[in-house]
C-alpha cells in the first residue's frame, strides 16, 4: 500500500533548486493524479529546499496551486525558487514540469501553530459515526468518476446523509461530508492535510451535476498539525454556474480542532 511520505518524496539533483520526483499512480482519481496530492508534492519539495536554513518552517501554512494541465504518473521534475526566507514565514514558488509546465504553486511555510486559549474557530460538524459509514470503493464507477485508486490509500467514508447522489437522490444542497484516514494507519501530517482538503467528491454531485470536475485553482490553508486519528471533512458549493464552480472545504481533527480549509475553482463537465 502506498505510504504518503514515500509518495511525496523528491530527490535533489546536481542543479540547485531542481528535484526529481516519481508521481505515484496510487494517488489518482480516474486517470488523473489527485489535485491535493500534487499540491502536497510541491509543498514537500519547498520544505526540503529550505530545511537547512529554516528547519522550523515545517508547516505549509498556505499553498495555492494553478493547474495548467494534468501530469501523468511517472517521472517529473520540480523547479523550486525561494522568494524569501523570513524569521516567521518563508515564501517559495514551485513548478512541476513533465515535458512542459503542469502545476505551479506558491507556498507560505512556517512553524506549526500552537493551540491557545485565544483560538476562535467553527465547531466540528455532527456526522454519522464512522463505523456506520461505508468505505468508498476504489474499483467501481458508482459516482461517475471511473476507478478511484486513491481510495485504496485514503480510507474515505461518506456520511450517508450527504451521499444521496450515490442512490440517485441528491439533496440539491451542494454539500458532502465524511471521514478520512490513511489506509496504512499512519497519522495525518501537515502535508497530508493538503490531500485531505481535496479528498471528497465534488459537492456539485449533491446538486445532480455529475461528471468530471477538473481543478483549475486550489488554495489550501493548514491551520495546525492534526492530532492522530480520522479527520472529519465537509465540502460545499459556494457557487455553481454553467461551466465553473467555487467550492469550500473544511477539515477537523480527532480533537475537534479545525486544522485546515481550502477553496477551489473547478470546471463543470456536464
pLDDT attached to residue 38: 98
Residues with Cβ within 8 Å of residue 84, at least 6 apart in sequence:
90, 91
Chain mean pLDDT for the chain: 93
pLDDT attached to residue 247: 97
Backbone φ and ψ for 69, nearest 5 degrees, come out as -160, 165
Q: Looking at the predicted structure, is the pLDDT value of residue 131 above 90?
A: yes
Tell which phi-psi region holds residue 83, choosing left (phi > 0), alpha (psi between -120 and 50) or beta. alpha
pLDDT in tens, 141-166: 666 566 899 999 999 999 999 999 99
Domain 4-112+126-267 sits in which CATH superfamily? Answer: Acyl-CoA thioesterase, double hotdog domain (2.40.160.210)
Cell numbers representing residue 253 in the block:
481533527
Predicted model pTM: 0.94
Which residue from 235, 223, 228, 222 is spatially nearest to 253, judged by alpha carbons? Answer: 228
- Residue whose cell numbers read 501553530: 113
User: Measured between alpha carbons, how far is 75 from 66 in angstroms, rounded to an integer?
Assistant: 20
Cell numbers representing residue 241 in the block:
454556474
pLDDT in tens, 88-97: 999 999 999 9
SS3 state of residue 124: coil
Q: Which of 97-106, 112-121, 176-185 has the lowest mean pLDDT?
A: 112-121
pLDDT in tens, 38-61: 999 999 999 999 999 999 999 999
pLDDT attached to residue 122: 87
Amino acid at each position: 500500500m502506498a505510504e504518503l511520505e514515500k509518495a511525496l518524496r523528491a530527490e535533489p539533483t546536481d542543479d540547485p533548486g531542481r528535484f526529481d520526483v516519481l508521481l505515484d499512480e496510487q494517488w489518482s482519481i480516474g486517470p488523473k493524479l489527485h489535485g491535493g496530492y500534487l499540491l502536497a508534492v510541491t509543498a514537500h519539495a519547498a520544505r526540503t529546499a529550505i530545511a537547512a536554513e529554516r528547519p522550523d518552517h515545517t508547516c505549509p501554512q498556505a499553498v495555492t496551486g494553478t493547474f495548467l494541465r494534468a501530469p501523468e504518473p511517472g517521472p517529473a521534475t520540480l523547479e523550486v525558487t525561494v522568494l524569501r526566507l523570513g524569521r516567521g514565514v518563508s515564501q517559495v514558488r514551485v513548478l512541476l514540469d513533465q515535458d512542459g509546465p503542469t502545476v505551479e504553486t506558491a507556498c507560505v511555510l512556517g512553524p506549526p501553530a500552537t493551540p491557545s486559549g485565544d483560538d476562535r474557530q467553527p465547531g466540528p460538524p455532527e456526522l454519522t459515526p464512522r463505523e456506520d459509514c461505508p468505505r468508498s470503493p476504489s474499483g467501481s464507477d458508482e459516482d461517475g468518476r471511473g476507478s478511484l485508486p486513491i481510495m485504496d490509500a485514503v480510507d474515505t467514508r461518506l456520511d450517508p446523509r450527504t451521499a444521496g447522489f450515490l442512490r440517485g437522490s441528491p439533496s440539491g444542497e451542494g454539500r458532502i461530508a465524511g471521514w478520512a484516514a490513511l489506509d496504512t494507519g499512519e497519522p495525518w501530517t501537515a502535508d497530508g492535510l493538503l490531500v485531505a482538503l481535496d479528498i471528497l467528491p465534488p459537492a456539485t454531485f449533491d446538486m445532480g451535476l455529475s461528471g468530471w470536475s477538473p481543478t483549475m485553482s486550489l488554495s489550501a490553508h493548514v491551520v495546525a498539525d492534526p492530532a492522530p486519528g480520522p479527520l472529519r471533512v465537509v465540502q460545499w458549493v459556494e457557487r455553481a454556474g454553467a461551466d465553473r464552480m467555487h467550492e469550500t472545504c473544511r477539515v477537523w481533527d480527532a480533537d475537534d480542532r479545525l486544522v485546515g480549509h481550502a477553496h477551489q475553482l473547478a470546471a463543470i463537465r456536464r
